[in-house]
Each structure stands twice: as C-alpha cells, then as structure tokens.
Copies of this chain bind each other. A is one copy, B any other.
Amino acid sequence: MKIALAQLNYHVGNFESNTAKIIQNIQKARKNGADLVVFAELCVCGYPARDFLEFSEFISQCAAAAQKIAAVCTDIACIIGLPIPNNKTEGKDLNNSAYFIENGKVKAIVNKALLPNYDIFDEYRYFEPSTEFNCIEFKGHRIALTICEDLWNTIENPLYITRPMDTLIKQQPDVMINIAASPFAYNHDEERIAILKDNAARYNLPLFYVNHVGAQTELIFDGGSLVFDNGGNLIDELPYFEECLTYYTLDDKGAVSFDHRSTIKKERESDIAQIHQALILGIQDYFYKSGFTRAILGLSGGIDSAVVCALAAEALGAENVMAVLLPSKFSSDHSLKDAEDLVSNLGCMSETIAIKNITEAFETALSPQFTDLPFNIAEENIQSRSRAVLLMAMCNKFGFILLNTSNKSEAAVGYGTLYGDMCGGISVIGDVYKTQVFELARHINREREIIPENSIIKPPSAELRPGQKDSDSLPEYDILDKILAEYIEYRCSAAEIVKMGYDEQTVHRAIRLINLAEHKRYQTPPILRVSPKAFGMGRRMPIVGKYLQ
C-alpha cells in the first residue's frame, strides 16, 4: 500500500480554499500512485475553529465540503478530519472526527476520544469524547486510526482515564495513523517525537503522523509530520514550516520504505532558529489570511522594534514594511541614528514624525486640570499614546496593519503603555522574553549586520523621561526572565522560586507586577505563540483577583 502524507496550510472557516487544496492534493497523490492520502485533524474547517463550531450552519458546510472531497476519491482513499454531529442523544453536540473515504463514500468514521482542554485547547467545549474504537480494513491492512491527543495519554502523569490504542491493539492492526493539529512551541518538536516514538515502540507498529502547517492568528503549526517503523525508529520527519506531500510504501510485513530524501534532522535546530522561522510564518499567515499586505510599526532605535521590523521585512518583503520614527524631546540622538541605520540596512519604507507639538497640545489642554502637579507617568504615557494615535492614523489612511513590538518580559510586568506601545493588530515578539530578543537579534545578524550593533548593546530604555533606563524600575533581564519563566511557564509559587536561590524581594515584586498587569494584557493584541505558555488564549487569569498581589 502506498500512503501519501499531506502536510498543508489550512485557513479557519475558509471552506472554499481548504476544500480546493485537499482536492488538489488528492488528485496529485492519485497521479503519483498513492492508495491512500492522509490529511490533518479538522482540516476541512481549519484548526482552531473555536465558536464557529457552535453554528449548525458551519457544521453543515463541513459536511458539504466532505461530500465534495468524497466525490473525487475514486481510485484513491483519503482520511480527512472534520466536526460532525454527535449521533447520540446524550453528551455534547459534536464529535471531532476522521472520515475514511473510499470509492467516493465514507467507509468509516473515527471519533476522537481524548480531548485536550488545557492551555490553548478547548476541545471539550464542543466535542463529546468517543468510547468506541474500531480498526479500518483497507487493501489487506488493518489500520488503527486515531486523532492527535488520542496517542498523548502519557504513562507517568496520565491526563485521561483511557487510552484508545489499548483497545485498538486487541483488534491486531498492522499500522497506526494519527492525524493531528499540534501547534508549535520551541520545545514541542522533541516532545512530539518522544511521545510518538513511545507509541510506535509500545504497540510495535509503524506509525504515520500528519500535522498542520501554517498560522491561525496566534497559533503557529510547524508541520514536522513523522513516520516511524514498527521498532519505534523515526524514519522520516517532514519539513518544518512548509507544506509538503510525501509518499511511503507499507509492505505486508509492516515494513515502511520511501524513495525521497529523508529530512530527518540529525541535530535539532536551536530554539531561537525555530522561533525565528515560526514568527516569520506567523506574520505571513496573519497578513495573507486577513487579506492585508503591508505592515507599519514605530521604530524607536531600541532592540524590540528593530527585531520586529527585521522579521516583518523578511516575512512580507521590505517594500511592504513602513517604519515610523516618532522622536520626542527625550529621544536620544543615538536612537534616531540606530533606527535610521536599520531602515537603511533593510531597505524598508520610513517616515519621521516628531511628537513634540502633539504632546504639548495635550499638556496645554490638560493644564487647567493638571495645574502644577509634577511630571509623572501621566505625561510619560501621553507620549506613548500620541505615537499610537499617529501609527493608527497611518493605518486608517493607507491600509497598514500595526505590528506590536512589546516583548514577553515587558508584557509580563506591565512595563508598557496600554493604548500606547501595547497597540497593534498582532504582537510579534510578545511570547519572546527580552533575553531571547537579544538572541534573536544575533540570529538575524548571523550573516551580516541587519540590526545595528548599537541597538543590541546599549542599555534598554523606554526614553519617556530624561535618562530613563529599564533597569531603574526592573531587575536586570537575565534575572527577571528566569523568575518570569518559573512563574508563567511552570506555575511555581514565590516561595518555590525563592527556594531556587532568587532574591526574595525581587521575586515577590516580579510576581506582584505580573498579577497587577492582568488588566493590561487582557486588552492587548493576539500574540504569536512560540513557547509552551504564552499570554493570550492559553493563559486565563482573573483580572479582579487577589492571589499574590
């Protein structure tokens, strides 16, 4: 049996393009002699479709798309993923399902049993878990077909009380296929390989695993679909961050062969290299799927906006990126110079708009109220917000999308102005800690200096008052970022973090700042997710809560 794996980039709710892409790949796979072509989980509607799933008309459209796909499945079978109505009275209205289509008809339906409902996942919101498991007979093979999380109930700290393969294995399958929607995080590729390898070895079966590729707002799917032989050996690893269609032959003894060049990674790419690729894809798909082409951002001369500008230029083409320099009376000469150097290195568009007259107009208008109260955060924020108004005016006039340039460290401790520098359509590095932003800058500069060295080496500053430095109000980033990760990624308490050796006062202050900034983060743009715990849909905190404040 010749099996094709289709690792494709879908678009949530875009039935026309998803269906067309699936059909094209079926036709291509047939032409190349495949007996079966395997698509990813919920490929028909895209992942995550979120509350679109609550519209019965949306579910009907999924069914209609499946009909069209089935109609072309002659002389080839396919596996597609889609939501279908739950045919039992009790339980949720839907199942997260896989159709096995042969001879133009749905031959078998598999429903997902283990429904992830943590971090960014909300599957139990929509779907009833399956309790029935049956193998599928095809071309003399017996296929154990499962959906993503179905293979992820680990032995050590099992999140679920069942394991579908423990039932399926009793029916003596000779191959496992798993269709997935497994989003990128910088540590996730290794975890994915380990978990699936463990399944192949435990059940002593070859395993074909097909993932999504492409970004859906904040979630970036990295592809990296996998093929294991029955000894649990990884024998193929599909490319990351790109679409592909690859072919394998499964013989009657369960041996898997293929004649393309395997792209198994001898050495894993560095976290930063992966994050770099993920962010590029994240930016591209945000723009492409929302029908925009041109980005705008405020360029301060600091490292954050420089990195975002360089990423945007790589993702969209420098000709589609507008960098706006927005100096105030507190901007240093080197900041303007560094920003200009970056623009020149990238070849992107740029404008310079001084904000002095605007901030003065605000201060004059407010002078009856502010009287002679001293300069403080009110005036600092007026600067940041005036810049946002200018950038949004450029968006409204010329059709740009504003890129947010806040990093994860700032977003964590609330070191940013709501409706000021926290604005934007999408946050590019909001899941990248400041120390990682430095690494990312070095990585972007790996072949030549794109980001001016001075932007990398100078002490970070918001430049909202004379001589301001981030380190005046925050711990040094190399300490802060570690504390943040322990609290955010690993949910350690202050006491636990102090026990690791960090200064008690610093830890308590950092955690208090994080908790006090929940109201700000609630209103910030979606953040491209590259870590196992990003701000946004995967981290849901009370706003008016009192814990650890």
Contact = CB atoms under 8 A, between A and B. Distances in A.
A537 interface: yes
Contacts of A537: 540
Contact of A393 (B52, B56, B160, B381): B381
Nearest to A163: B90
Contact of A386 (B17, B90, B389): B389
A253 interface: no
A378 interface: yes
Contacts of A491: 54-56
A152 interface: no
Contacts of A285: 544
Interface string A394-430: 1011000000000000000000001100010100000
Contact of A542 (B52, B158, B361): B52
Interface in A458-495: 491-495
A399 to B, nearest CB: 10
Interface in A1-44: 11-15, 17
Interface in A526-544: 526, 537, 539-544
A495 to B, nearest CB: 7
A451 interface: no
Contacts of A389: 362, 382, 385-386, 389, 419
Interface in A282-312: 285-286, 289-290
A376 B396 contact: yes
Nearest to A121: B125
A135 to B, nearest CB: 24
Nearest to A365: B353
Interface stretch (A102-110, A198-206, A366-374): A366-374
A166 interface: no
A496 interface: yes
A217 B366 contact: no
Contacts of A379: 393
Contacts of A14: 545-547
A546 B11 contact: yes
A87 interface: no
A480 to B, nearest CB: 19
A542 B217 contact: yes
Interface stretch (A141-149, A235-243, A516-524): A516-524
Contacts of A57: 492-496
Q: Which of A14, A88, A543 has the most CB of B within 10 A?
A: A543
A366 B393 contact: yes
List 7 A-B pairs, minimum CB-CB distance, nearest first. A13-B547, A57-B493, A14-B546, A378-B396, A361-B361, A378-B397, A13-B545
Interface of A: 11-15, 17, 46, 48-52, 54-58, 61, 88-92, 117-118, 122, 124-125, 157-161, 216-217, 285-286, 289-290, 351, 353-355, 357-358, 360-362, 364-366, 368-370, 373, 376-379, 381-382, 385-386, 388-390, 392-394, 396-397, 418-419, 423, 425, 491-496, 519, 522-526, 537, 539-549
Given A56-B491, A89-B158, 9 more contacts: A17-B546, A55-B491, A56-B493, A90-B161, A117-B117, A355-B365, A378-B393, A385-B389, A419-B423
